[in-house]
Chain A
Amino acid sequence: MLPAPTNVSIVSFNLEHTLTWLPGPETPDNTHFTVQSLRKNSWQLVKGCARLKTRQSCDLTNTFKDPFYHYKARVQAITTTQKSNRSLSMLFYPLTDTLLGPPVVSVSGCGNCPLLQVTPPTSRGLQRSLSPTQLYYRQFTCKVRRTRDGSQFSMWVTSTEKTVIGYLEPGAEYCVTVTPSTSFNPHSVPSEPHCAFTSPTAANTVPVVLSVLCAFSLLVVLLCGIVVYSGRLLCMHKPLPKTLSSVPLCGG
Chain B
Amino acid sequence: MLAELPQPQNLTLLTLNTQYVLTWDWDQTTTGNSVSFTVEYMAKYKMKMKKKNWSRVCERTTRTRCDLTGSDLHYLGMYVLRVRASADGVDSDWVNKDFCPDIDASLGPPSRAELAPVGNLLDVTISDPLTSTQHSMKEHVLFLYYRILYWSRSDDPQGLKPKVLDSSNNLVTPPELEAWAWYCVMIQSRYDYYNKTSSYTEPQCMQTEGDTPYGQIFLYFLVSMMVCFLLVLLSSYAFFRFYRGLKNTFYPSIQLPAHIQEYLCDSSPGSDMPRLITADSEAELCCDKLTICPEVVLLEIHVPPPLTAPPSELEQDSGRHIRQDSGDSGIYSTEGGSAQQGRSGGEPIRRDQEVDSWQTLEQVKMEEMGRELADERDLDEGVVDVCV
Contact: B211 with A167, CB < 8 Å? Answer: no
B131 lies within 8 A of chain A by Cβ:
no
**Residue total for B at the interface (Cβ-Cβ under 8 A):** 24
Contact pick for B171, options A112, A151, A209, CB 8 Å: A151
Known: A153-B169, A169-B123. A206 touches B211 (CB 8 A): yes
Task: Please name all residues of chain B whose beta carbon is closer than 8 Å to the beta carbon of A7 when the two chains form the complex.
Answer: none
Contact: A156 with B221, CB < 8 Å? Answer: no
What's the interface size class on A, roughly? 20 to 34
Contact: B218 with A213, CB < 8 Å? Answer: yes
Chain A: CB-nearest residue to B125: A151
B160 lies within 8 A of chain A by Cβ:
no
B173 to chain A, nearest CB (A): 5
Given the complex of chains A and B, what is the CA–CA distance between A166 and B175 in angstroms?
10
Task: Please name all residues of chain B whose beta carbon is closer than 8 Å to the beta carbon of A131 when the two chains form the complex.
Answer: none
Given the complex of chains A and B, what is the CA–CA distance between A201 and B179 in angstroms?
13
Greatest chain A CB density within 10 A among B125, B142, B169 is at B169
Contact: A166 with B169, CB < 8 Å? Answer: yes
A247 lies within 8 A of chain B by Cβ:
no
Contact: A205 with B211, CB < 8 Å? Answer: yes
Given the complex of chains A and B, what is the CA–CA distance between A205 and B15 in angstroms?
53
Contact pick for A155, options B169, B217, B218, B225, CB 8 Å: B169
Given the complex of chains A and B, what is the CA–CA distance between A156 and B125 in angstroms?
17
Main secondary structure of the interface of B (DSSP, over half): mixed
Contact: A209 with B173, CB < 8 Å? Answer: no
Task: Please name all residues of chain B whose beta carbon is closer than 8 Å to the beta carbon of A205 when the two chains form the complex.
Answer: 211
Contact: A167 with B119, CB < 8 Å? Answer: no
B62 lies within 8 A of chain A by Cβ:
no
A144 lies within 8 A of chain B by Cβ:
yes
Contact: B167 with A167, CB < 8 Å? Answer: yes
Given the complex of chains A and B, what is the CA–CA distance between A170 and B123 in angstroms?
11
Given the complex of chains A and B, what is the CA–CA distance between A154 and B170 in angstroms?
7
Known: A209-B214, A209-B217. A217 touches B174 (CB 8 A): no
Contact: A210 with B221, CB < 8 Å? Answer: yes
Known: A155-B168, A166-B169, A167-B169. A206 touches B174 (CB 8 A): no
Q: List 24 A-B contacts (CB under 8 A).
A: A112-B175, A144-B171, A151-B125, A151-B171, A152-B171, A153-B169, A153-B170, A153-B171, A156-B142, A156-B143, A166-B169, A167-B172, A167-B173, A169-B118, A169-B123, A169-B173, A170-B121, A170-B175, A204-B211, A209-B217, A210-B217, A213-B217, A213-B218, A213-B221
Report B's interface with A, CB cutoff 8 A: 118-119, 121, 123, 125, 142-143, 165, 167-175, 211-212, 214, 217-218, 221, 225
Report A's interface with B, CB cutoff 8 A: 112, 144, 146, 151-156, 165-170, 201, 204-206, 209-210, 213, 217
- A153-B169, A201-B119, A209-B217 given; name 20 further pairs at CB < 8 Å: A144-B169, A146-B171, A151-B123, A152-B171, A153-B170, A153-B171, A155-B168, A156-B143, A165-B169, A166-B169, A167-B165, A167-B175, A169-B118, A169-B173, A206-B211, A206-B217, A210-B221, A213-B218, A213-B221, A217-B225
